[in-house]
Amino acid sequence: MTAPASVSVSARQPVHTHHVEGFGTVTITPVDPAADSALIHSWVTQERARFWGMGEASRELVQEIYEDVDRRTTHHAYMVSRDGEQVALFQTYDCAEDRVSECYEVRPGDVGVHLLIGPIEGAAEHGFTGALMTAFIGFVFSDGTARRVVVEPDARNTKAVARMERAGFVLGPEVVLPEIDLPEVYLPAKPARLAFFNAPGAASATG
């Protein structure tokens, strides 16, 4: 899962480091569109990532998409490493500034997330995704402003929905995220299953 030798290495520094006992050290670093687009492209164009919605995208388009994300203050993308090896793509966004806001009543402190695990060589490692989720949730809640994590996996992706439940998310309603057709980005309508994870001490609610 390391980047091809021809790809430049990002000089960006991690914004969060989390040691997960028995798993390793997880580092979360902002995506560098130029340096990371080749690796991201190799992940999102695989059949296993079909619900990510970028199966036909070129490397150039992937770079353009993450350059657009990089310019935003409401949406953020991160490369995730485990003991120095890049293993996942993690994205966060302000739910009030995203199309998901048309599908449920957004509350102050709601932070949406997307997660794409990179391809794993050999047999699947038990607890791998759960360990990463521990680091991600710790990161989202680390600044004290987030009150609830919101996910909206494709409703047809039953494995992802079940994974969120195992991680402690409370399932919410099934919705249809509306189409977005703008010059800088196009997103088709998507059936999604909302799920929620409250910050420690926050009132339990599913929206």
54-93 tens-digit pLDDT: 889 999 999 999 999 999 999 999 999 999 999 999 999 9
Phi/psi at 63 (5° precision):
-65, -45
Phi/psi at 179 (5° precision):
-65, 145
Q: Which long-range contacts (CB under 8 A, 24 or more apart) does 159-164 make?
A: 160/51, 161/193, 161/195, 163/129, 164/195
**pTM summary value:** 0.89
The answer on pLDDT for 186 being more than 80 is no
Q: Give the tens place of pLDDT for each residue, 32-62.
A: 999 999 999 999 999 989 888 888 999 999 9
**Helix (H/G/I), strand (E/B), else coil: 181:** strand
What distance in Å separates the CA atoms of residue 96 and residue 109, rounded to the nearest whole number? 9
Question: In terms of Cα–Cα distance, which of 120, 154, 29, 34 is closest to 81?
Answer: 29
Task: Report pLDDT for 46.
Answer: 95
Residue 154 DSSP symbol:
B
What distance in Å separates the CA atoms of residue 17 and residue 26, rounded to the nearest whole number? 6
Q: What is the mean pLDDT of residues 9-18?
A: 88
